Amino acid sequence: MYGTGQGIPMDHAEAVRWYRLAADQGHAEAQRYLGIMYRFGVGLGAAGRASAIDRGEAVRWFRLAADQGLASAQNDLGFMYGTGAGVPQDDVQAHMWANIAASRSTGEDRERSVGLRDQIADELTPDDLSEAQRRAREWDAAHPREP
């Protein structure tokens, strides 16, 4: 509620505090939202500072949420690897995460992941594409979906 200002005044620093409390307890959505806050530096800057962008920290939180099966965080990771934001740019990893996200999401979220995956695929060699698909299958097998 603090992050969106629904029903209360918007307060990004307070939102970060609550996201962190939940994220530290393993809540995947909170981990993703905390990752978003670090990616854009929202609610993290010291007084008088515009932002505290930390894309490496964003990737860390996205990865924690992605490993729990949260498709939106998997897509975020695909984007981060594809652009080299907070991690070395790696199209194989980017495709892997976007592919996993596409397989675990629906509607507009799935379309977004499919678009990212297909855009990255255009940049890959056939061997790299095969490797990305292999990694996605292995990750998927090691992280079964909950019923």
Q: Residue 3 has which token pair?
A: 């992050």
**107 lies in the same domain as 120:** yes
pLDDT at 49: 46
List the domain range (segments joined by +) for residue 138.
70-147
> Per-block average pLDDT, block size 10, for the chain (147 residues)?
91 92 97 96 66 90 97 97 97 98 96 96 97 97 85
Q: How many domains are contained in the chain?
A: 2
Residue 114, pLDDT score: 97
User: How crowded is the C-beta side of 93, counted as CA atoms within 13 Å?
Assistant: 16
Q: Please tell me the predicted confidence (pLDDT) of residue 48.
A: 40
Q: Do 62 and 74 fall into the same domain? A: no
CA distance 123 to 79: 14
pTM for this one?
A: 0.91
